[in-house]
Amino acid sequence: MSNLKNKRRKSLIGGVLFIFLSIGVIASVSQFDSIQKIISQATGKRANFIVDTQTTIGPINQSWRNLAQGGESHDWRLAPINNLVQSLNPKYIRIDHIYDFYDIVQGSPGNIYFNFTKFDLILNDILEVGAKPYISLSYMPPVISQGDIVQAPYHWNDWQLTVQKTIEYISGTRAVEDVYYEVWNEPDLFGDWNYYGAKNYLTMYTHAALGARNAQQNPQVKNFYLGGPSTTTLYKNWFDAMARHAINNNLKYDFFSWHRYSHNLNILEKDLTQIQSWLARYPQLAGLELHVTEWGLDSANHPGYDSAYGAAHVVAGAITLNQLADKAFVFEIQDGKDPNNQVYWGRWGLLTHQDFGSQPKPRYHGLLMLDRISGQQLRLTGQGTWVKAIAARNDRGNIELIIANADQHHGNSEIVPITFINIESGNYILNLEYLDGRRQTISATATENSLQTEITMTPNTVVHAELIML
């Protein structure tokens, strides 16, 4: 995401008018919100979890360990928040704006050279927190694009060389293995690129792939991955265009990426289910990875990013994405500076701006709690509309769960049944630790290989549960 301009918002006028006509009233905005809340709660599904204690589905993917930072500031650094970020155990950190923030490309059209001195600062920061870089190849270097960073270059060969030298530096000179290079950031928004016509993203991708091919021929270059297009949301026409273009032109194409901002957590699962069906039509792309390179509750500033709702949303969303996407990047690490100098202004960050102490927000603490779960993931069924859970057997032999109840309307409370099946008979305790600091212990007895209990989940709570045999 970038500060170049505000995100486009899809119009809801048609849907609003439909509901108004259906109920036969002309409601105010607040009345409509109340009606929407009643309808959603009437049609939502309550959670009813069944945990099979003997059926594993592999190691937990821990997709929540991938983080992204947007273009908040030219001089933003990870170094001052090193310990806070390191505590989240990031695997990859995605950055964009590399060509307009770090002065990598210098010279003039047709006569360019490269200087990675400034870029080394952020690259070193990423490596020092134990992560690997995930590079959004954006935006167009000003010296090759008439000074307009969302326009095509004077010469496509300059862009091709830029990508080649970027890969050769990071994956070659710096010898960082398994780096992901994503061609552009939200091309459908920033520059109004399309997959056809005069301003064609496929042309941009082709020259990036040719640059990557040239870089691969350098024996110093380590293994790396190339993909895109990182659109503002999931579009089938973009997916099909990318797939056909890569196949027909024999281009390096390792992953398909898009962004998803929504309060509706179930759209995350719908996205991945849809794209798996689309991918099945292209057997040549059987190994294509699927990446959600930005995700959150809203593409615009929203107070939820500073509240308990944001924590519940990021935990429940990460649980949903965990086994579906190969990688999913929580957006973003740190707030930009509010023009009105407010500490909390609904910005996307897990941390407040550095001028306000880089204070962790509830979303940060939610991710910390979620990251406590590890080991072999257990089969769990019965996910609800609002309440999501993940279960695993830890290295102590105990069963752990993380449960989150995310509701933007702050009205959904549930007494959630949990049944553990294929479990040894005996007496157990279930230790609960809530994100707000509350603790509770529940005693239960397993008979006939089954144990049943229930947990009260008030709106926007997150809880860590551990089942221990006495």
Give the pLDDT confidence of 79-113 residue by residue, as tens digits. 999 999 999 999 999 999 999 999 999 999 999 99
CA distance 87 to 81: 10
- Look-up of token digits 């042309």: 203
Give the residue from 130, 135, 129 showing the smallest Cα distance to 116. 135
Whether the per-residue pLDDT at 18 is higher than 70: the answer is: no
- pLDDT average, residue stretch 58-82: 95
Domains and CATH numbers, the chain: 1-43 (no CATH), 48-58+376-469 (2.60.40.1180), 61-370 (3.20.20.80)
The CA–CA distances, whole Å, from 32 to 36, 39, 266 equal 6, 10, 22
Whether the per-residue pLDDT at 389 is higher than 90: the answer is: yes
> Which one is predicted more confidently, 4 or 298?
298
- pLDDT average, residue stretch 59-67: 93
Separation of CA 404 from chain center: 17
- pLDDT average, residue stretch 215-232: 97
- pLDDT average, residue stretch 333-348: 98
Residue-level pLDDT at 146 = 82
Share of the chain above pLDDT 70, in %: 91
Please give, one letter per residue, the 3-state secondary structure of the chain. CCCCCCCCCCCCHHHHHHHHHHHCCCCCHHHHHHHHHHHHHHHCCCCCEEEEEEEEEEECCCHHHEEEECCCCCCCCCHHHHHHHHCCCCCEEEECCHHHHCCCEEEECCEEEECCHHHHHHHHHHHHCCCEEEEEECCCCHHHCCCCCCCCCCCHHHHHHHHHHHHHHHHHHCCCCCEEEEECCCCCCCCCCECCCCCEHHHHHHHHHHHHHHHHCCCCCCCEEEEEEEECCCCHHHHHHHHHHHHHCCCCCCEEEEEEECCCCHHHHHHHHHHHHHHCCCHHHCCCEEEEEEEECCCCCCHHHHCHHHHHHHHHHHHHHHCCCCEEEEECCECCCCCCCCCCCCCCCCECCHHHCCCECHHHHHHHHHCCCCCEEEEEECCCCCEEEEEEECCCCCEEEEEEECCCCCCCCEEEEEEEECCCCEEEEEEEEECCCCEEEEEEEEECCEEEEEEEECCCCEEEEEEEEC
Whether the per-residue pLDDT at 19 is higher than 60: the answer is: no
- pLDDT average, residue stretch 285-297: 97
pLDDT tier, 1 (very low <50, low <70, confident <90, very high otherwise): low
Contact (CB, 8 A) for 318 and 64:
yes
Contact (CB, 8 A) for 364 and 326:
no
Structure tokens at 463: 């809880």
> Which one is predicted more confidently, 26 or 88?
88
Contact (CB, 8 A) for 227 and 255:
yes
Q: What is the mean pLDDT of the chain?
A: 92
CA distance 304 to 301: 9
Structure tokens at 225: 């991955």
DSSP strand pairing (132-137 vs 179-183): parallel
Contact (CB, 8 A) for 432 and 465:
yes
pTM over cut 0.75: yes
Q: Say how many C-beta atoms besides its own lie within 10 A of residue 437's C-beta.
A: 6
Whether the per-residue pLDDT at 40 is higher than 50: the answer is: no
CA distance 353 to 346: 12
Whether the per-residue pLDDT at 28 is higher than 80: the answer is: no
The CA–CA distances, whole Å, from 278 to 236, 237, 239, 444 equal 8, 10, 8, 46
Whether the per-residue pLDDT at 16 is higher than 90: the answer is: no
Contact (CB, 8 A) for 407 and 469:
no
